[in-house]
Structure 1
Amino acid sequence: MEKNLRVQIRTLGDLALTIDMADAVSRSTSETVLSSATALRNAALPGVREVVPAFCSITVHLDAPPRDSAALQARILALLDGDVQEPPERRRFTIPVLYGGAAGPDLDELADLCRLPAAEVVARHGGRAYHVHMLGFLPGFAYLGEVEEALRQPRLDRPRTRVSQGSVAVADAMTAVYPSASPGGWRLIGQTPVRMFDPERAMPCPLAAGDVVTFSPINSARFAELSADVADGYWLEPDA
């Protein structure tokens, strides 16, 4: 993958550096960010604690303030200018969703705004593979793109003070699952019974940047069955 980067590094306090790599969110930008993050992780630079990719940037967290920040930044720039690193293997996940009704109170309004039947909105949302751009906002909240052009609508004018855990939502070109109850302004079109964050697990989030997600419509009976399985310890795993 060819990289034409205009990289800018800025300090983020005294224990982190943010590497800005692009101005616009896109799949190609995400691929560049992820491959660059892989290169930084593989380099195992002394003093680097964690490498965190975002939409258009990477944040490098440090164990301590660097003795020579300019030298560290030069080393990072040299790594990003070197051979392209392949991002981690893409894992694929299927997330079951109960669409509409109490589980998706904004589905009908979204359908009206899009001038489509609700069933068509469900078919289009569930018939697409989504790229995990990044995790943020809440632990386990994965930004998934891109939503089909015909389904794109802005956030609600008045955000809800509480969105239920597992709510599946859309906003502009992104879709996501709320991993825990929180305020939120995205349009709620469904709900999944699976957990997207569990602090008791060694890997608390099933998804990571670069993964691929597909949503699968289910009925209320299947939702109840899966909810019981989740209570018994079921965890979202990659597709076979």
Structure 2
Amino acid sequence: YRNSLDAIPILLYAFAGVYVLVQLFYLGGLLAVYTNSKKNHVVDFFYGSVKYFIRFLKIAVFVGALYFAAISINVLIDYGIKEIFLEKENAAVEFAVQIFRYLFFLLLISLINIISDYTKVAITVVDSTKLFRSLYKSFQFIKKNFVKVMTVYFIMLVFVAIGATIYNVVDSFLPKKPVYFLLLTFLIQQLLIIFRVLIRMYFYSTELLIFTDGEAQTVSPAFEEIS
């Protein structure tokens, strides 16, 4: 029994790893089709999945390090706040500071997600194999279009939150017995998964449009004088 409990985290990590790999594979094909709408066949999708998988995997490793750094910073800040208010009886101020810490952590995670997304978009659009060059390019683009990028990102997050809220509300009112209610719950869960996939597709399609629109350069035509 104890060995089974000890094995649960390892299984969770394994499932999380498989989930990330599947997402990276799927995303490569999705962005490949989005980038070139003429190549929208299933073969083109899987070709893009294979083509960009290793590149996206490198991004995932780098982003994983950023996540680890962000979580470590959050833990250190939390520890510092608790140490500061350890001998002070001011729960309201501590609560407010903790709220700001939590919001800062969410902002940090959101920025990492955005950098990750736009780096993948940049790699697909430019067809680059240079990880750090693409990271720099995406960082420069985000800095230049910060308000637009953040606005679109948080609007899409609102849709995700709405979907999750609707699911939790409906699920809380559904009885678990008899069996056909369990089947209904299962169907609702599948709808939630489909909804999340669609939202993810909208995420990357909007990011791709923003990136290509922002990176588009207007070339002035050269006119020849006719004598």
The TM-score range, normalised by the shorter chain, is under 0.3
More helix by proportion, 1 or 2?
2
Q: Which has the larger radius of gyration?
A: 2
State the TM-score, normalized to the length of structure 2.
Answer: 0.28
